[in-house]
Amino acid sequence: MVKSCLKRKTEFGMLLASPKGVAHVGCTAEIIEVVKRYDDGRMDILTIGRVPFRVTQFLEDSPLLEGLVDYLDDRERIIDPKTRRELTELYEACHTLIFGDYPRTVEGHEPESLSYHVAGTLPLDLLWKQQMLELRTEADRQERLVAYLREWAPHLQKTEELRLRADGNGHGLN
């Protein structure tokens, strides 16, 4: 976790840590809910990502991982309406296959944050999500997500078909 002089106590910085090291691009996260408190002071928390940033310098003298950050703005690039529509359709299909429920929140989402919503909702690979976070245009993120979900959706469909077959006698639904 990277701490960046934030004004609210419920917001902090998050970075991906892997065996290869700590990513330099992350995002602020707001604590939405404390799900569980443990006797030793630890907590399970529910968060939502807010503003992307890049760490410019890690502070060595801190017992916590702290650093100085620059907040990242997206560059302007027109979002292709066809790409947005395809992303919405693929997201709805994948969400329904994974969670067994149609997503209710995609309709009113702002076009400039749809990619973050989709990537944050679906259980995508963390390193892949990191790559998405590092892209600086919404159009690039949407195009990348469409390509990813085009390949992933058929796999999810096949997995669902196998699950349904396993629930039956192997010859179709009972």
Residue 170, pLDDT above cutoff 80: no
d(CA 18, CA 130): 11
pLDDT of residue 108: 62
The DSSP call for residue 169 is T
Comparing CA positions, the residue from 17, 27, 13 lying closest to residue 116 is: 27
pTM of this prediction? 0.77
Tokens of 113: 């944050």
In sequence order, the β-bridge partners of residue 21 are 18
pLDDT of residue 110: 73
Extents of the domains making up the chain = 11-71, 81-167
In sequence order, the β-bridge partners of residue 49 are 29
12: left (phi over 0), alpha (psi -120 to 50) or beta: beta
d(CA 106, CA 119): 12
pLDDT tens digits for 142-159? 999 999 999 998 888 887
CATH topology assigned to domain 81-167: Methane Monooxygenase Hydroxylase; Chain G, domain 1 (1.20.58)
Count of other CB atoms within 10 angstroms of residue 52: 20
pLDDT tens digits for 120-143? 999 999 999 999 999 999 999 999
Residue 23, pLDDT above cutoff 80: yes
d(CA 174, CA 168): 5
Where does residue 62 rank: exposed (0-12), middle (13-18), buried (19+ CB within 10 A)? exposed
